[in-house]
Amino acid sequence: MRTAIFDLDGTLADTLADLALSLNLTRAEFGFAPLTVREVAACVGEGARVMVARAVPDVPEAIDRLLSIQRVHYRAHLLDNTVLYPGVKDTLDELKSAGWSLAVVTNKPSAVTFPILEGLGILSLFEAVVGGGDCPELKPDPAPLLLAARRMGKTLDAEDWIAGDHYTDLKAGRLAGIKRCFCRYGFGEARGEAYDLAVDRLDGLPGALQSQSVK
């Protein structure tokens, strides 16, 4: 049984508006003007600490204090605007029915990852969910992917996949020795990382995987 690992932000769900809201509420507490959604997108992808440091720079407050403020705002607005991308639920159902083991590996903290997946109605489809803080490393380190595999009682090999919209996903997959699907519809960037497949909607993934499996 093969494994497919998915990123969350920019891959399964469009979380950008709610992230922007939480960051702008945090900025407002320090008298800063709001960032545009495009500016917020450039801050996302390498964990909450890096995101907040980029979005609220030049503040004498300790980063832990800024993180605490942002987390309070984000938890209050987790699902105000966050939605699944088109075709995501059908894709997950199709892969699950075909016998794939599914996991989520995200740099987003687990404390907010689980409520988002549950609120979007897809939590039960995954055998493992690994969020930021579940192990010392974040993507692009492969350790979170390997942790997800262990939680499923599996080892990853060259027939397994990761799907994500950011170079952190692609690099983590490369270092873990699995195939990579770049989700071009998300708000991340490949930044020169190689991938085995690119899709403009996630529901293009099952057919492409089936095609590759019969080559």
Active site residues: 7
Torsion from C-alpha of 150, 140, 26, 81, nearest 10 degrees: -70
Whether 121 and 12 have beta carbons less than 8 Å apart is answered as: no
Report the amino acid identity of residue 65: R
User: CA-based angle 94:12:117, to the nearest 5?
Assistant: 95
Q: Residue 107 and residue 42: Cα distance in Å, rounded?
A: 15
Torsion from C-alpha of 97, 101, 102, 105, nearest 10 degrees: -170
- Counted residue by residue, the chain has a size of 215
Q: Residue 156 and residue 13: Cα distance in Å, rounded?
A: 24
Whether 81 and 17 have beta carbons less than 8 Å apart is answered as: yes
Q: Say how many C-beta atoms besides its own lie within 10 A of residue 39's C-beta.
A: 14
Whether 110 and 129 have beta carbons less than 8 Å apart is answered as: yes
In terms of phi and psi (left: phi > 0; alpha: psi -120 to 50; beta: otherwise), the region of 31 is left
